């Protein structure tokens, strides 16, 4: 039996793929997810992939007594904390709900960890902390800009809270700054399950290709980029999942009980919206209907990662191509259409 790892939000998009990566690396994941933004069908998909049931608590992680009982019952060695509200637009309408949930849960979690002597924490952060960088690629030393959304601010403040706790208490923590996670497990047993109209580009593309959406609207093609559309660093969700295992291994092996560090998790390359559409059309074999619309408020013009630090210290870098990610996303969408 490998080390037991609690994965909060483990039924979500990145969380469920990380559960697979953990199990395949010899860890024993335990899921805590209130299913407020995930489906119980994910547990079935995980059983299909892993050939076993993953223990799951369908509860709110902002519950100190529950956390301590789970830590004791399972002899938890580390926590990967995904559970958070993450809709950028919604966060501007409901700031108190976002600060209470995202930061309250984090504080409760660390309180319970310290009470039980658990010292390994991996925190789900975001490239949104960089805002609109002056000169991509961004390194972990690139200045953090004032957050463009309440959601982004909860990630920035979350990183600062963890940093301060690690300085004062025996806690080793790593903040992972995700770029743009896309794709799905190649088995098409788990993948992205956006609720309602997708905010993000790739699920909107796959739903359009599946005929669920009439056409894609590209939010602006008059940006100062080569083809006028915004540039992002798209990373296969399984590469992202495997990075969490590398980060956990790094933290658990670290001698200094006051470790705190941040790592960029991206492919290291930038691709424009139009480039994604063109690559997707090669994957699906059909033209994708789209039109150019107005810019989306708050969009960053261009951001992609310098991933040298993750490679040097975590021994991790992406292994899958953009086209593989788009093919896996498309296979997942077709599986959903058939279900
Ligand atoms: C990508 C590009 C859009 C939809 C998201 C999260 C952020 C962070 C990173 C977690 C942009 C364009 C999109 C559409 C479009 N995740 N687009 N038409 O905004 O980079 O950030 O992932 O922390 O919180 O919001 O990703 O996929 O929404 O947009 O033209 O219908 O695609 O303008 O240029 P984004 P996205």
State the closest ligand 1 atom to the C-alpha of 219, by its place in the atom list counted from 1: 30
Q: How confident is the model at residue 339 (pLDDT cuts 50, 70, 90)?
A: low
pLDDT at 298: 86
Q: What is the pLDDT of residues 16-74, one digit of tens each?
A: 999 999 999 999 999 999 999 999 999 999 999 999 999 999 999 999 999 999 999 99
Helix, strand, or coil (residue 131) = coil
Question: Considering only CA atoms, which residue is closest to atom 26 of ligand 1?
Answer: 200
pLDDT at 119: 97
Q: Is 273 in the pocket of ligand 1 (CB under 6 A)?
A: yes
Instruction: For a ligand 1 pocket test, name from 127, 213, 273, 298 the mutation site with the most ligand atoms within 8 angstroms of its C-beta.
Output: 273
Instruction: For a ligand 1 pocket test, name from 219, 224, 228, 235 the mutation site with the most ligand atoms within 8 angstroms of its C-beta.
Output: 219
Q: What is the pLDDT of residues 117-166, one digit of tens each?
A: 999 999 999 999 998 899 999 999 999 999 989 999 999 999 999 999 99
Question: Considering only CA atoms, which residue is closest to atom 1 of ligand 1?
Answer: 201
Domain assignment of residue 118, yes or no: yes
* End-to-end Cα spacing for the chain: 35
Q: Is 109 in the pocket of ligand 1 (CB under 6 A)?
A: no
Domain assignment of residue 299, yes or no: no
Catalytic center residues: 151
Q: What is the pLDDT of residues 74-113, one digit of tens each?
A: 999 999 999 999 988 899 999 999 999 999 999 999 999 9
Q: What is the CATH number of the domain that holds 129?
A: 3.40.50.720
State the closest ligand 1 atom to the C-alpha of 198, by its place in the atom list counted from 1: 31
Structural contact between residues 169 and 182, judged by C-beta atoms closer than 8 angstroms: no
pLDDT at 13: 97
Domain assignment of residue 200, yes or no: no
Domain assignment of residue 64, yes or no: yes
Domain assignment of residue 291, yes or no: no
CA distances from 306 to 179, 309, 312 (A): 11, 8, 12
Instruction: For a ligand 1 pocket test, name from 91, 147, 180, 217 the mutation site with the most ligand atoms within 8 angstroms of its C-beta.
Output: 180
Number of structural domains in the chain: 1
pLDDT at 89: 86
Identify any residues that bridge with 121 across adjacent strands, giving them in sequence order: 79, 173
Distance CA 50, CA 185 (A): 12
Torsion-angle region of 126 (φ positive above 0: left; ψ -120 to 50: alpha; else: beta): beta
Q: What is the pLDDT of residues 180-233, one digit of tens each?
A: 999 999 999 999 999 899 999 999 999 999 999 999 999 999 999 999 999 999
Domain assignment of residue 199, yes or no: no
Sheet harboring 56-57: ordered strands across?
A: 56-57, 28-32, 4-8, 76-81, 120-126, 172-178, 260-265
Task: For the chain, give the percent of residues with pLDDT over 90.
Answer: 95
Can you give the three-state secondary structure of 208-268, one letter per residue?
HHCCCCCCEEEECCCCCCCCCCCEECEEEHHHHHHHHHHHHHHHHHCCCCCCEEEEEECCC
CA distances from 229 to 200, 208, 271, 288, 300 (A): 15, 19, 9, 16, 11
Segments forming the whole domain that contains residue 50: 4-184+234-267+306-318
Structural contact between residues 81 and 102, judged by C-beta atoms closer than 8 angstroms: no
Mean of pLDDT values over 268-294 = 98
pLDDT at 231: 98
> Locate tokens 């063109």: which residue?
278
Q: Is 200 in the pocket of ligand 1 (CB under 6 A)?
A: yes
Structural contact between residues 49 and 190, judged by C-beta atoms closer than 8 angstroms: yes
> Locate tokens 């119980």: which residue?
40
Domain assignment of residue 176, yes or no: yes
Structural contact between residues 7 and 120, judged by C-beta atoms closer than 8 angstroms: no
Nearest residue to 109 (alpha-carbon basis) of 261, 7, 2: 7
CA distances from 180 to 25, 77, 191, 271, 279 (A): 24, 29, 14, 11, 16
Domain assignment of residue 296, yes or no: no
């Amino acid at each position: 039996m490998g080390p037991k790892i609690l994965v909060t939000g483990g039924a979500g998009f990145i969380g469920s793929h990380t559960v697979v990566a953990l199990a395949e690396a010899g860890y024993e994941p335990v899921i805590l997810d209130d299913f407020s933004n995930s489906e119980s069908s994910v547990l079935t998909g995980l059983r299909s992939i892993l050939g076993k049931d993953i223990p799951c608590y369908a509860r709110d992680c902002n519950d100190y007594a529950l956390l301590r009982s789970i830590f004791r019952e399972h002899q938890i060695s580390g926590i990967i904390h995904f559970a958070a509200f993450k809709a950028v637009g919604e966060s501007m309408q409901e700031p108190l709900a976002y600060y209470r949930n995202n930061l309250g849960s984090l504080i409760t979690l660390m309180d319970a960890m310290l009470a039980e002597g658990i010292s390994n924490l991996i925190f789900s952060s975001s490239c949104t902390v960089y805002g609109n960088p002056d000169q991509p690629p961004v390194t972990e030393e690139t200045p953090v800009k004032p957050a463009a959304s309440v959601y982004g601010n909860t990630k920035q403040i979350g990183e600062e809270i963890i940093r301060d706790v690690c300085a004062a208490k025996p806690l080793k923590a790593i903040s992972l700054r995700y770029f743009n996670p896309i794709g799905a497990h190649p088995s098409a047993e788990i993948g992205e399950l956006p609720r309602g109209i997708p905010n993000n580009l790739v699920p909107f593309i796959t739903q359009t290709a599946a005929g669920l959406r009439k056409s894609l609207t590209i939010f602006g093609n008059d940006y100062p980029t080569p083809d006028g559309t915004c540039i992002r660093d798209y990373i296969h969700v399984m590469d992202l999942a495997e990075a969490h295992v590398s980060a956990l291994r790094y933290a658990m092996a670290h001698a200094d009980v006051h470790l705190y560090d941040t790592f960029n998790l991206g492919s290291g390359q930038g691709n424009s919206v139009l480039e994604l559409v063109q690559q997707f059309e090669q994957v699906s074999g059909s033209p994708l209907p789209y039109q150019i619309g107005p810019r989306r408020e708050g969009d960053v013009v261009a951001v992609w990662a310098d991933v040298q630090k993750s490679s040097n210290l975590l021994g991790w870098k992406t292994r899958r191509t953009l086209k593989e990610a788009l093919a896996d996303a498309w296979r997942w969408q077709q599986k959903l259409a058939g279900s």
